[in-house]
Amino acid sequence: MPTIHVTSHLRHVAPAGPMPVDAATLGGALDAYFATAPRVRSYILDDQGRLRRHVAVFIDGELLLDKKDLGRRVAPNSEIYVMQALSGG
């Protein structure tokens, strides 16, 4: 199963450690993750269900460039990282 890793910045709402999810797409993987960890949803998706603009998703080391591409296929052994863009100040 694909595995989702969520940034430690969300440790106050996210489960500790990576989570395997049963899904074939990025959107499906996130939905499966949110089913277990519902509080994380609003931190990753906006109220229209889109990836937040400054949330970065890497799938197998590759940055997801099209933030709207929640239908992006993921492989059974994919590693999905949900990070935040860096900021200063």
Determine the Cα–Cα distance for residues 44 and 40; give it in Å rounded to an integer: 7
Residue 88 in the binding site for other proteins (CB under 8 A)? no
Stretch that binds other proteins, among 19-27, 43-51, 58-66, 70-78 (CB under 8 A): 43-51
Among 8, 35, 42, 75, binds other proteins (CB under 8 A): 42
CB 32 within 8 Å of CB 41 = no
Question: Of 68, 33, 72, 40, nearest to 53 (Cα)?
Answer: 68
Q: Are 58 and 64 in contact (CB under 8 A)?
A: yes
47 binds other proteins (CB under 8 A): yes
State the minimum distance, in angstroms, from the CB of residue 48 to other proteins. Answer: 5
Q: Least Å distance between CB 62 and other proteins? A: 20
CA distance 74 to 21: 11
* Choice from 16, 61, 68, 76 touching other proteins (CB under 8 A): 68
